[in-house]
Amino acid sequence: MAPERSRCLVLACGNTLRGDDGVGPWLAGWAGERFRNEPGVRVISRQQWTPELAQDIARTEAVLFLDCALDAAPGAVTLRTVEVHAQSGATTTHHLAAPELLALAEELYRAHPRAVLFTIGGESFGLGDEFSDALRAALPQACASLETAVLRLLDGAAIVDCRGSHLQR
């Protein structure tokens, strides 16, 4: 059965049992609740992005990839455009990055949705389901920025790459 069509797909990943890595699924839950009455928004959360998600990506106008960042300051929110990037070598059956998933959707389904990567920096990835203080303090800003990003994608507005600040509507 083919996934439903959407105007904006929020596609989160992260491990809820590894501290800050669980922020992607947490924000996906928040987005699912915030946009529950918006028929154009679809939210999917997985522990990792896998090749079968290419079909979901192919059935949307815009995709917002949501993840924790290891290479950003703890709590820093970053939003950047994602470009298609074919993976070198054979496709893995496990984890793919956002550019590789876009490439797979293009290759298999001839799909070209607009795509952005929304990340929030983490600092604690040990066993447990608690967020670090820095990440917990950044959640209000992250929710506000995520809301703005989704609304801009729904409006067809351009998303400008930004780091560490609120998106402007």
What domains lie within the chain, and their CATH numbers?
Answer: 6-163 (3.40.50.1450)
The pLDDT of 92-102, averaged and rounded, is 79
**Does residue 26 have a pLDDT over 70?**
yes
- Above 70 in pLDDT, residue 111? yes
Q: Which of 24, 20, 47, 8 is nearest to 137 (CA)?
A: 20
- pLDDT category at 164 given cuts 50, 70, 90 is low
Distance (Å) of CA 8 to CA 37, 64, 93, 150, 164: 13, 7, 25, 7, 23
Please say if the pLDDT value at position 106 is more than 50: yes
Phi, psi (rounded to 5 degrees) for 67: -155, 165
Spatial separation of the C-alpha atoms in residues 5 and 121, rounded to whole Å: 31
Predicted local confidence at residue 83, as pLDDT: 87
Q: Where residue 166 falls among pLDDT bands split at 50, 70, 90?
A: very low
| Residue 112 pLDDT exceeds 50 | yes
β-pairing verdict for 6-13 and 77-81: unpaired
pLDDT at 145: 96
Name 42's bridge partners: 9
Element (H, E) at 55: helix 53-58
Dihedral angle, C-alpha 153, 159, 165, 169, nearest 10 °: -60
Please compute the mean of the pLDDT values over residues 82-97 and round it to a whole number: 64
Average pLDDT (110-120) is 96
Q: Note the pLDDT of residue 84.
A: 83
Is 159 within 8 Å of 116 (Cβ atoms)?
yes
Q: What is the pLDDT of residue 88?
A: 46
